[in-house]
A and B are shown apart, each in its own frame.
Chain A
Amino acid sequence: GKPQQSITSFFKKK
């Protein structure tokens, strides 16, 4: 399968 991306690659910490 394709590699899994992480949420933190899209959303930054507040």
Chain B
Amino acid sequence: ARLPRSAVLKKILDSVKDLVKETNWDCNEEGMSMQALDTGRIVLVEVMLREAAFESYACEVPMTLGIDMEPFGKVLRCAGGDEKVTIKASRNDQDHIELVFENEEKERMSAFELKLMDIDGEHMAVPDAEWGAEISMPSSEFKKIVMDLAEIGSDLTIAVSKLGVTFTAQGNNCKGSMVLQPSTAVDKKSEQVAISFTEPLEMTFAAPYMKMITKAAALSSTVTLSLDEACPICVRYEMEDNAGHIKYYLAPKED
């Protein structure tokens, strides 16, 4: 599997490493994907890198690659963001993978081996949901709201109504809320805020977890929040050119 830029892998690693220390990557002809729960079982993260994300991609037999994020991160730090990455996994020797980084002019090539782990992964079945509310907005804006409000309090409440979407945090000494309304005047789709809902709803989530989830803003200019009463929120980042996505399901806080 050859990616045109290592930056994609670096960003994916940054987006999951606070939550997941080791995970199985499932490789098949469609691409590479992973699903993992954090140790606290509060967030389920799913990553899909489709064949379209790669400059070249071949997977003759489905394989599971058990990857330890820490050494993987050390290896990836050796790659320049604009260097190509080739990942090679051999079906005859499933003890390790090889990673080769090449810069555009091929003046430099570096090769690494990463030992694979035998991870007892558990796959969760995510039911198809009829969401009560969906909000799409610029991922940078979502990130700023979450980062700011997480400083105010550890509970982040998201309320959707005809007023728009309201993010509220309450701490011991202060309370803050931010309201976003659907944008009509913005031309660029990636800068728009779109809100749809069937019934007004209000749900509370742990702000520190939501903060970790905003790391994926580096992967996509927009984010979609899907909410339903008494269900985990789905925070979805779609990468450009049908390259794939990262989705987080965060369980709510409830009385």
Contacts and interface: CB of A to CB of B under 8 A. Distances in A.
Contact of B255 (A2, A6, A13): A2
Contact of A11 (B124, B154, B155, B253): B124
B97 interface: no
Interface stretch (B7-15, B41-49, B174-182, B238-246): B41-49
B206 interface: yes
B204 A2 contact: yes
Contact of A1 (B37, B122, B251, B253): B253
A12 to B, nearest CB: 6
Given A10-B232, A11-B44, A11-B249, A5 B123 contact: no
Q: How large is the interface on A (under 10, 10 to 19, 20 to 34, 35 or more residues)?
A: 10 to 19
B254 A2 contact: yes
Interface residues of B, number: 25
Nearest to B251: A5
Q: Main SS of the interface on chain A?
A: loop
Contacts of A1: 153-155, 204, 253
Given A10-B232, A10-B251, A11-B249, A4 B125 contact: no
A4 B124 contact: no
Given A1-B154, A13-B122, A13-B124, A6 B253 contact: no
B127 A11 contact: yes
Contacts of B37: 7-8
B35 to A, nearest CB: 9
A12 B75 CA distance: 34
B126 interface: yes
Nearest to A1: B155
B42 A10 contact: no
B131 to A, nearest CB: 14
Given A6-B41, A7-B42, 20 more contacts: A1-B204, A1-B253, A2-B155, A2-B204, A2-B254, A2-B255, A4-B206, A4-B251, A4-B253, A5-B42, A5-B254, A6-B251, A7-B44, A8-B124, A11-B44, A11-B124, A11-B127, A13-B123, A13-B124, A14-B123
Interface of B: 37, 40-44, 122-127, 153-155, 204, 206, 231-232, 249, 251-255
21 contacts: A1-B153, A1-B154, A2-B254, A3-B253, A3-B254, A4-B206, A4-B251, A5-B42, A5-B252, A5-B253, A6-B40, A7-B42, A7-B43, A7-B44, A7-B249, A11-B44, A12-B125, A13-B125, A14-B123, A14-B124, A14-B125
Interface of A: 1-14
